[in-house]
Copies of this chain bind each other. A is one copy, B any other.
Amino acid sequence: MDQTALFTLTYGIFILGAENNGAKNACIINTCGQLTAEPTRVSITVLKSNLTHYMVDASKKFTVSVLGKHASLETIAHFGFQSGRNANKFQNMTYKTDRLGIPVIEKDSIATFSCKVIEQIDLGSHTLFIGEVVEATKLLDAEPMTYAYYRELKAGKVKPVNLEEQQALPEQNTQYECSVCHYIYEGDISFEQLPDTYVCPICGQPKKVFYRA
């Protein structure tokens, strides 16, 4: 088996926040994906030896901050390359507290979610947590950091993205996408003009599950 084949998989980079009995912590993960649209569920995979894993496992709740392409290596190192067992990662760090009582990092992020764990699978070294999203906030209209970009950044092959320049680009969000099967509408008449009886040609879901992507 060629293990490098697995490196072709695409990931983002996220800050995972947790709170348990008044204690809080956060770490970096690269696995967060949406599972279903209704109800809105996501999955995360967390290394068991992380303190944050213990807190999510105990409290059955977590937050995810989606880092933007403008995020600094310092932010990733701060949350990713030290353990909450030895350092208070929230000292001198601005954060919010969500309605579940969990810290939410907005620094360098473009969106945040709050989730309740509804199921989990023991994978040996990691646990896969399935979370029902109870709160979701888009913070910035900017590109997400990908794991591939982070690696290039760390190797000095690319420069950090300048957020101001990125946001100055005209953005045309005119695509409508099925939130269930991700089909992108491409008919001749505008999506808004379609009758309410329109259904997704791929998965048969109604017009209301389409989002302006």
Contacts and interface: CB of A to CB of B under 8 A. Distances in A.
A127 to B, nearest CB: 10
Given A2-B138, A5-B136, A182 B30 contact: yes
A193 interface: no
B124 A36 contact: yes
Interface string A138-175: 10000110111001001101000000000000001011
Contacts of A126: 35-36
Contacts of A174: 155
A179 interface: yes
Interface stretch (A41-49, A54-62, A100-108): A41-49
Size class of the contact patch on chain A = 35 or more
A125 B146 CA distance: 27
Q: Is the interface of A mostly helix, strand, loop or mixed?
A: mixed
A199 interface: no
Given A8-B111, A49-B203, A81-B202, A3 B179 contact: yes
Interface string A28-44: 00111111111111110
29 contacts: A1-B40, A1-B134, A1-B135, A3-B37, A3-B179, A4-B212, A5-B111, A5-B138, A6-B34, A6-B113, A6-B133, A7-B213, A9-B32, A10-B144, A30-B182, A31-B33, A33-B45, A36-B124, A36-B125, A37-B125, A38-B124, A47-B180, A47-B203, A121-B130, A123-B130, A147-B182, A151-B184, A154-B186, A155-B174
